[in-house]
């Protein structure tokens, strides 16, 4: 399963990097047309917002996979052995419950907005709102993998791309 996790890390990282590159190109076009041509296209600002939403939610999932979300670890550092593992598992269960709520509500939002289109681009808004359940689903997958490893008494490899 470690190979599959590394592959998922690489795919997510590549997708986020491509989205970032697309947003840089989009914003560059916006700035050029605004200040040089003095007639900015209306779609560039909207596209930047939608790309940013996808970046944020996919990066949320990747951050769960790498264990790189911000945390206060004073209690975690004070605990050892079974107590420490129990605290990590409890925190993962709370995170999983929250991500499942985000997934469920994200799907509801996606369905509710699937018959509307964006103003400037005419893009189906369901595609934009799909970023929330996509990121929540990836987060759930990583949390479940970490929980399985925690119940087995080991720790899932985090920061797999950084270790290569």
Q: What is the pLDDT along the chain (164 residues), one digit of tens a residue?
A: 578 888 989 999 999 999 999 999 999 999 999 999 999 898 999 999 999 999 999 999 999 888 888 877 788 788 888 888 888 888 899 999 999 999 999 999 999 999 999 999 999 999 999 999 999 999 999 999 989 887 887 655 443 333 33
**Cβ atoms within 10 Å of 92's Cβ, excluding its own:** 19
- Rounded CA gap, 80 and 3, in Å? 29
pLDDT of residue 57: 96
Q: Which residue in 71, 59, 66, 69 sits closest to 135, CA to CA? A: 59
Report CA-CA distances (Å) from 79 to 84, 85, 134, 154, 164: 5, 9, 34, 16, 30
**Domain locations along the chain:** 2-156
pLDDT of residue 71: 77
- For residue 38, the 8-state DSSP code is S
DSSP string computed for 67-136: T-S----HHHHH--HHHHHHHHHHHHHHHHHHHHHHHHHHHHHHHHHTT-B-TTT--BHHHHHTHHHHHH
pLDDT of residue 160: 38
């Amino acid at each position: 399963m470690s190979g599959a996790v590394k592959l998922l890390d690489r795919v997510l990282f590549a997708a986020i990097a491509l989205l970032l590159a697309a947003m840089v190109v989009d914003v560059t076009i916006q700035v050029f047309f605004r200040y040089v041509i003095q007639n900015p296209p209306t779609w560039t600002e909207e596209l930047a917002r939608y790309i940013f939403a996808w970046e944020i939610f996919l990066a949320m999932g990747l951050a769960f996979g790498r264990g790189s979300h911000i945390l206060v670890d004073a209690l975690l550092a004070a605990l050892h052995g079974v107590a420490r593992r129990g605290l990590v598992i409890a925190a993962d269960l709370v995170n999983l419950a929250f991500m499942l709520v985000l997934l469920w509500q994200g799907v509801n939002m996606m369905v509710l907005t699937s018959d509307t289109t964006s103003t400037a681009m005419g893009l189906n808004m369901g595609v934009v709102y799909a970023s929330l359940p996509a990121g929540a689903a990836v987060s759930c997958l990583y949390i479940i993998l970490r929980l399985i490893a925690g119940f087995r008494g080991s720790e899932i490899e985090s920061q797999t791309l950084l270790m290569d």
